[in-house]
Amino acid sequence: MNNSLHIKSFVKRSGRLTNSQKIYLKNKEKDLNFFSAEREFDYKEFFNNYNPCVLDIGFGDGKLLTSIAKKFPELNFIGIEVYESGVGNILKQISKEELTNIKVSCHDAVIFLENFITDNSLYGLSLFFPDPWPKKKHYKRRIINEDFLNLANRKIAKNGFIKIATDWSNYSDHIIKIFDQNTNFERINDIYLYKKRCLTKFEKRGISLGHKITELSYKVK
């Protein structure tokens, strides 16, 4: 993939930061739970173990990711988020819960996957409520497309998974369609990691607006 031609699936917004978010962001370079991607990710070096690793794209306020990591200490988690408020939030949560199985970075997920994740190395990949870009003229900005599936297929090990949740029906229809056209994936029932998971902030907002929540799980053949 040519990174210069990559259409970003996000627009950086400068939201207000809380004092605690500012503190954790200011000290993030010294925080062992934060990393700046400069070369291929070495799981053993970062986590000091050989546990399977899940990449979570766009972790938002971090509450879902930290709750999953706390439940499953036998797995490692990498979290990618472009918004500083989310990074500040999750660093605070990781510190409070004393979690050792999450590392986070502020990065464009497609470029990160392409350049810093070794092929066939991930156990799974999750995207909870990616930006739906609801206007038709912006559909090209949606992160989940044919190119993304081919990239994910390269990076996820055989029998690994992709987990997706969205509250936009025309986005879920599109996602199902492109997965159906890709012979590298098989749709499966919900993945054990995410059963009885907590609701995300975006999910609660979608429910309050009367949106239907669609959860999709796929296995890499």
Token pair listed for 92: 């605070």
Burial class of 19 by CB neighbour count within 10 A (0 to 12, 13 to 18, 19+): exposed
Residues in the chain: 221
Structure-block tokens of residue 181: 């056209």
Query: Which tokens go with 80?
Result: 């990618």
Phi (first) and psi of residue 4, to 5 degrees: -70, -20
What is the radius of gyration, based on Cα positions, of the chain? Answer: 17
- Whole-angstrom CA distances from 14 to 18, 79, 86, 103, 158 are 13, 20, 12, 23, 39
Neighbours of 209 (CB within 10 A): 8
Q: Is 61 a catalytic residue?
A: no
Q: Give buried/exposed letters for 158-194 (b at 16+ CB in 10 A, else e).
A: eebbbbbbbbbeebbebbeeebeebebbeeeeebebb
From 56, 61, 108, 131, active-site residue: 131
Distance between CA atoms of residues 116 and 125, nearest Å: 14
Could you list the active site residues? 131
